[in-house]
Amino acid sequence: MGREVAESCIDSLLTEMVSSYCNHFYANKPELAARRIEAIGYQVGHQLSERYTMERPRFSDHLEAIKFICKDFWSELFKKQIDNLKTNHRGTFVLQDNRFRWLSRMSPEPSLENVDSQDPSENKAAQATSMHLYFPCGIIRGALSNLGIPCAVSADISNLPACEYI
Amino acid sequence: MPPVAPRSGDAIFANVERVNAELFTLTYGAIVRQLLTDLEEVEEVNKQLDQMGYNIGVRLIDEFLAKSHVSRCVDFKETAEVIAKVGFKMFLGITATVTNWDAEGTSCSLVLEDNPLVDFVELPDTCQGLYYCNILSGVIRGALEMVSMKTEVTWVRDMLRGDDAYELQVKLLKQVPEEYPYKDDE
């Protein structure tokens, strides 16, 4: 398995990174913060896929590469595989993780009774969660680009704690 | 109910959820790299890493106290030992040694032979002056402040700069008696 550290280390680090970029460096500029967070993820994904594919032959096609991401890559990172993979056979893949570790401690948007505070707090909760997701999206994009597949990755969290990557 | 005995660092580490250290090392590296690009000044990056560490330490102490069941430390010497043997172990899986106590017992060094943050890391010449692991000094400072100790934590030796080990000097500045943590608005 190799060396390990406590999960709370990576959780704290990620939370702090997102918080620093969103509230400190680019407060009020969520677009810029998001791009930075995604860039950090891209770097990590690129390097990780480099290390995990060193001994393997090149993947024969896109589907093989995506399957690698779903099985081996995801297992290395999250100790489980992607639960569901769908494709439209025209270049779009949907990877679904039903219990995404990094989100497992975030609550779904609470239903809001008070109409006045509805907008700001709903946006804040959704925004915080989506900011966190730029990181894994970046990881996937970085990993795939290292395998020769340029792509765009976005995330959908309509059913927390499940998470879909497209 | 009898008090629960404090657990050893190894026992706690064996029981917490653990992840691949590579993910942690690479994520930290990517963050440092991004900070260098965004902030440009090495000193700024050092400060930012320390601040991030401080924010993490302030929260991490709760988890530490909850999982380790250590009772209140009698003195700073015990505090340092606990950080070295239990703290580092349960989070990073490494142990540190405590050395170099000064005469009053308010300053000591934590020495790490091994450090997961720096696996495979090499600093390029353009980063002279960067304290790559500065997040650790912030974490210790933040955590100790939450248990009423104001400290100053500085790097004495850094392997990425050519030294043979990582050495952090922890100096106790002030032991603040328990007080309401929030200052009045100035």
Q: Are A96 and A85 in contact (CB under 8 A)?
A: yes
Q: Are A146 and A52 in contact (CB under 8 A)?
A: no
Residue A19: is its pLDDT beyond 90? no
* Chain B residues with CB-CB distance to A47 below 8 A: 26, 30
Q: Are A77 and A67 in contact (CB under 8 A)?
A: no
Average pLDDT, integer, range A36-56: 87
Distance, in angstroms, between A16 CA and closest chain B CA? 6
Best to test chain A binding among B12, B13, B16, B23 (most A CBs inside 10 Å)? B23
- What pLDDT sits at residue A117? 36
Amino acid at B10: D
Is any Cβ of chain A less than 8 angstroms from the Cβ of B56? yes
Give the integer Cα–Cα distance in Å for A103 and A41: 16
* Chain B residues with CB-CB distance to A19 below 8 A: 55
Average pLDDT, integer, range A48-66: 82
pLDDT mean across residues, chain A:
77
Is any Cβ of chain A less than 8 angstroms from the Cβ of B15? no
Full pLDDT tens readout for chain B, 186 residues: 555 566 788 888 888 888 888 889 999 999 998 899 888 889 999 999 999 999 999 989 998 888 888 888 888 888 888 888 888 988 998 889 999 999 888 899 999 988 888 888 888 888 888 899 999 999 999 999 988 899 999 999 988 888 889 999 999 998 877 656 666 654
Residue for token digits 């709760």?
B62
Is any Cβ of chain B less than 8 angstroms from the Cβ of A54? no
Is any Cβ of chain A less than 8 angstroms from the Cβ of B123? no
Q: Which of A4-8, A59-63, B127-131 has the lowest mean pLDDT?
A: A59-63
Closest-approach residue (CA) in chain A for B62 = A8
ipTM for the predicted complex = 0.83
- What pLDDT sits at residue B185? 59
- What pLDDT sits at residue A133? 84
- Of A112 and A149, more confident: A149
Is any Cβ of chain A less than 8 angstroms from the Cβ of B54? no
Residue A95: is its pLDDT beyond 70? yes
Is any Cβ of chain A less than 8 angstroms from the Cβ of B106? no
